[in-house]
Amino acid sequence: MKLRWLIRSQSIATLAAGMIYPYYLLFLKNLGNSYSKYGLAFAVFTISSAAAAHWLAPFVDRHGRLLLALSSFGMTAAMLLFPWAGAYIWVLGLQLLMGLCAAMQKMSERLLLADHTEPGARGRLLGSYQFWTSVSSGFAVVFGGYLIDWLTIDVLFYLSALLYALSGWAVLRAARQTAPPPAGRAHLLPATRRCRSKAAGARSRPDRVYIPRYHIYTMPPIIAAHSNAPSTTPTISPLPITECS
């Protein structure tokens, strides 16, 4: 199933988020802040996420997986820095970073869900995705509650950072497995992709023209027409043609 790597990586990310977010208010209360400041911090998170989504929209189609990995690594940095935030202004700055990461995660997640499913057959895959991510979130809340009874909330932040980093690594690993082979292994590509690769390389070689095999037979009459032109007109030298197979 093409969606399996996405389910795994985002289940880990959901586990990390569910472990810390329900107890996030306790951290702000330890700083001596009120509920109104908690509301302001959450508003900064949502508004920055909305603004970042509008700004990132042109890049999502080409860099969906990269943005998904960056969102996990950005959340890793935020979780590592939170225990060291001794003032409310630092909390607001981290909320801005988390809003940016949330925008990258949501947009790239939805894009990849659409890319890896087909119309008319999306229901089962989306159900599986929603099931595993929701189950991960539920277990995370329970586990975080037991853990905070024995340890401190700082430990939850560090453990959440570890899980976010693992999620980002899973995305990058999946991207490497589906990346195109290097140039030295071009012979392993299908014929149509080899031809596309040669055509792309022709941009740096303006003296050569690469065309598919099924077009090669239409060229000689054109070349002959140019080569048999009267001597009074300048002769047009045909470009060398390399056949793709």
pTM: 0.64
- Residue 33: the pLDDT is 66
CB pairs under 8 A, 24+ apart, for 50-59?
50/103, 51/99, 52/99, 52/100, 52/103, 52/104, 53/103, 53/106, 53/107, 56/103, 56/104, 56/107, 57/107
Most confident of 153-157, 158-162, 176-180, 237-241: 158-162
Question: Cα–Cα–Cα angle for 196, 201, 204, nearest 5°?
Answer: 150
The full set of domains in the chain, from first to last, is 3-177 (1.20.1250.20)
Could you give the percent of the chain with pLDDT greater than 70?
67
pLDDT digits (tens, 9 = 90+) for 109-168: 888 877 777 777 777 777 777 788 777 777 777 777 777 777 777 788 888 889 889 888
Give the least confident one: 12-21, 24-33, 101-110, 147-156.
24-33
**What's the Cα-to-Cα distance from 243 to each of 196, 199, 208, rounded to whole Å?**
12, 10, 11
Give whole-number Cα distances, 198 to 186, 211, 238, in Å: 10, 9, 19
